[in-house]
Amino acid sequence: MAQTKEKLSPRELVLERIGFGGGDAFSWNKMQWYVAFANRDLTRLTPGDLLNLQEEIRAIAWQAFRSNRTNEPPTLSQIVQLKEAVHRVLYDLLRTTEATYGPVAVTLRVTNWEDFDDEGKWSTTTVRPIGGFEVTGRESKLYQDELMAHMFSLLWRWGLWLKQCPKCWTIFLQFRRHAKYCSRKCQSIAFMRNKRASERGESKSLQIRKKAGAKPKLKEKSHG
C-alpha cells in the first residue's frame, strides 16, 4: 500500500526492490541475488547499474548485520573482488561439493524463532554472523567479508539447490526438483538438438538396413 511505502527508508526500498523481505521465508530470494550477482558481467555496467549495486550491497550488509555504519559505499573494484569471491565459492561447491572462504572474524548469534515458511520441515533455528569485522583491520574487505558470511549462512540451506546448466554453464538455483537447465531457452535448444540427433540416428540405421538388403521389420512379421 502507498501508505506503508511512504514509511520505508531508502534502504528498505532497495531491499524491497531486490525481494529481501523480512524473515527467513525470503532466504530463497537472497540466495538468488548472490547467484545472479555471480553471473553478472561487471564490465558492462552503466553508471546507473553501478549505483544500484552499491546501494544493494550496502542495504544487504545493513540487513544481515544491522551494522549502522555510515562508511563509503563499495567501490567498483571492491564489487569486482566480491563478485570473484562469490563466483569462486559457488563454482567450487558445484565442482568439488566443498568451498571455503576466510579467515574472517565474526560474532555469531543463534536465534530460535517462529517459522513463517509454509514448509514446516525447515529448521526454525538460524545461525548467522552478526558482524564484528571492524576488529580485524580489514576495512577494505568490510563489505566483502560481511556479504560472504551472509552468503555462507544461506548456502547452509540452499547449497543443494545450486546447479550448473549443461548447455550454457550458467549457475542457477533449481526451482523445480528435476530442472536440468537454467532457462526455458536452454531447455528447448537442448531438446531440439537431442531430437535432431535421434532423428539422424534413426534415418542412418534405416539406410544401413536398406544397404544390407534387410527387410523392414513389419514385412518380416507379416511373413511369419
Interaction site with Zn ion (CB under 5 A): 165, 167-168, 170, 182, 186
Q: Which is nearer to Zn ion, 50 or 168 (CB)?
A: 168
User: What sign results for the dihedral spanned by CA atoms 46, 51, 85, 159?
Assistant: negative
Q: Which is nearer to Zn ion, 154 or 186 (CB)?
A: 186
Supply the minimum distance, in Å, between the C-beta of residue 182 and Zn ion.
Answer: 3
Q: Three-state DSSP class for 63?
A: helix
Q: How far apart are CA 63 and CA 128, in angstroms?
A: 12
Q: Which is nearer to Zn ion, 81 or 183 (CB)?
A: 183
Contact 113, 176 (CB under 8 A): no
Residue 66 is given by DSSP the state -
Q: Which is nearer to Zn ion, 80 or 173 (CB)?
A: 173
Residue found under cell 580485524: 136
Supply the minimum distance, in Å, between the C-beta of residue 135 and Zn ion.
Answer: 42
Q: Which is nearer to Zn ion, 11 or 163 (CB)?
A: 163
Beta carbons within 10 angstroms of residue 168's beta carbon: 14
Helix axes 76-96, 27-39, angle to 10 degrees: 100
The C-alpha cell of 63 is what? 540487513
* Residue 112, strand partner residues: 125
Supply the minimum distance, in Å, between the C-beta of residue 190 and Zn ion.
Answer: 9
Helix (H) or strand (E) holding 187: helix 184-211
HSE-up (13 A, CA, CB side) for residue 66: 6
Q: Which is nearer to Zn ion, 87 or 167 (CB)?
A: 167
